[in-house]
Amino acid sequence: MSDSQTAVHVLKHHFRDMEQQNETSSFGMWVFLVTEIMFFGGLFCAYLIYRILYFDSFAAASSTIDVKWGAINTVVLICSSLTMALAVHAAQLGKRKVLVGFLIATIMLGGVFLGIKAKEYHDKFVEHHVPGPSFHFEVEPEMAEKFHAIDPAKTEIFFSLYFLMTGLHATHMVIGFGLLTWLVIAGSKGKYSPIYYSPVEMVGLYWHFVDIVWIWLFPLLYLISRHH
């Protein structure tokens, strides 16, 4: 289809021109991301306050999480952010195959991330650190030496917040997969062109936001006084 036809077909009836439509959709996406900031913000605020109240228990609980996998996951997610950004770039230039390639790469990296996350959850399950009736926290000697005031009941709060925050983040990634697969299908049909690519950009903004949430989760949850 020639460019003008796609433009007419794609321009919604209540917008004056494509420029207004694109600006409106991206501004709308940013307002939605502000609600996501406040949504995760409530959890971060609860985490911050409990961390101040029970620092030693939080530090002890955090020391049982393998920081190596957390770092690898951060790198994986940053790579997926890169591939997502390049996908948006490809959509802007109308390169259909490159767009679909990068979208699939983003999905793959996301999959790797969730795989590592599942492994970490499994480790926690094995160590009985999943909050609930089966929860049991063993205070190892070197932990007790480094952090004096460890209270096993308070470590359960850390793990509750750990599973809630990383679980909410993982849920947002699964939603991201849904959006990305929809983009892959529509992209391979050539729906996106240099004139109309705002859906790709919207999902890009969403994906980068999910990456930012992890950028904050990694130091807050994994790096509580790891020094010896």
- How far lies 224's CA from each of 57, 126, 220, in Å? 11, 22, 7
61 alpha carbon, distance to own chain's centre:
23
Q: Which of 94, 151, 179, 193 binds another protein (CB under 8 A)?
A: 151
Sign of CA dihedral 188, 191, 196, 200: negative
**How many chain residues bind another protein (CB under 8 A)?**
85
Query: Tokens standing for 1?
Result: 């289809």
Judged by CB under 8 A, the residue of 2, 4, 14, 141 near another protein is 14
Could you tell me which stretch among 28-36, 106-114, 176-184, 185-193 binds another protein (CB under 8 A)? 28-36
- Regarding 34 and contact with another protein (CB under 8 A), the answer is yes
Q: Which of 1, 3, 41, 140 binds another protein (CB under 8 A)?
A: 41
Mapping DSSP onto H, E and C, the string for 167-205 reads HHHHHHHHHHHHHHHHHHHHHHCCCCCCCCCHHHHHHHH
Q: Which of residues 62-121 bind another protein (CB under 8 A)?
A: 67, 71, 74-75, 78-79, 81-82, 84-86, 89, 92-93
**Distance between CA 163 and CA 121 in Å, rounded?**
8
Is 24 a binder of another protein (CB under 8 A)?
A: yes
Among residues 3, 39, 97, 138, the one that binds another protein under rule CB under 8 A: 39
When the beta carbons of 102 and 107 are compared against another protein, the nearer one is 102
